[in-house]
Amino acid sequence: MKLEPLHKVSKVILPCAGLAKRLRPLTNRIPKALVRLHGEPLLAYMLREAEASGIREAIVVVSPQHTKHFKKYLASPAGDFPGIKKIHLRIQRKPLGDGHAVLQAADLISRQEPVAVRFSDDLIVSDVPVLIPLIAWYARTRAPVLLLERVPRAQVTRYGIVEVGKAERSIAGGGRTYCLKSFVEKPAIDEAPSLLAVMGGYILSPRFLAELARTGKHLREERHDALRLADVFRAMLLRGDPVYGYEFKGKKLDCGSLEGFARAERFLRRRSAHHPRFH
């Protein structure tokens, strides 16, 4: 399916303003996205994935105290990603949630434009960069697409879990795609509608972004995590709007905690001799 220019996913938002308390002391002096994993900052993995997926602009959302760190990195030779023509910085002054972080990039996204979102907590090792199948499914449906991972039942209490319909036909990347029915945040083990957990990757449609903006305008209080993407996904599903999920084929590296970060480092060390290029 050939997309008209305004429907192409050519931009990615990379929220990097989180407090990263679970990665301390690694983040005592530098932001999480610039902590080095196997010799490279987490941000580099995200930008390389975006570049390999056909993304041409990246918007990095940062906290005020870390702006200088990101400017320095992006101005260095290591921060040059030839396929990405522009890398913008936007500031999130208060930690009001991932939805609030996305809205900080609103001035760079047109009203008819979809956008990818990726979080550096969840690095995906796969034969096909994971944004490619997400973008491909958006091209067919023009509806939001969430990245999913099948997790052990004992872990469902850590994640947002989705209820899904019958698996759709497979697309590029070898994973499975589902039409979502509901979204439950950190359910009890015996109440989880499935074992499919939402990971840190999305394609957001113009309709989703418009609803997110409307919700942001009516926030009654500026509390931590007040505006979350999950709340808008739930609202859309309750109305019966189409939302899809893609269960990727590959390995997730959890970089959101010290334990997960250490496991990711060991995995990449073992892998590097045989697969020097990370996708």
Mean pLDDT of the chain: 89
List, for residues 32-55, the tens digit of each pLDDT value.
Answer: 899 999 999 999 999 999 999 999
> Which parts of 9-83 fold into alpha helices (H)?
42-52, 67-75
Least confident of 5-19, 110-124, 247-261: 5-19
Please say if the pLDDT value at position 230 is more than 90.
yes
Q: What confidence score (pLDDT) does residue 3 get?
A: 43
Element (H, E) at 86: strand 86-91
CB 202 within 8 A of CB 223: no
CA-to-CA distance for 86 and 102, rounded, in angstroms? Answer: 17
Torsion (CA) 187, 32, 11, 240 in degrees, nearest 10: 10
How many domains in the chain? 1
Q: Is residue 131 part of a domain?
A: yes
Q: Is residue 4 part of a domain?
A: no
Name the pLDDT band for 168 (thresholds 50, 70, 90). confident
Global model pTM greater than 0.85: yes
State which residues form the domain around 139: 11-272
Q: Is residue 250 part of a domain?
A: yes
Residue positions counted in the chain: 279
Q: Is 169 exposed, middle or buried, given 0-12, 13-18 or 19+ CB atoms closer than 10 A?
A: exposed
Q: Is residue 278 part of a domain?
A: no
CATH for 212: 3.90.550.10
CA dihedral sign, ordered 205, 101, 44, 274? negative
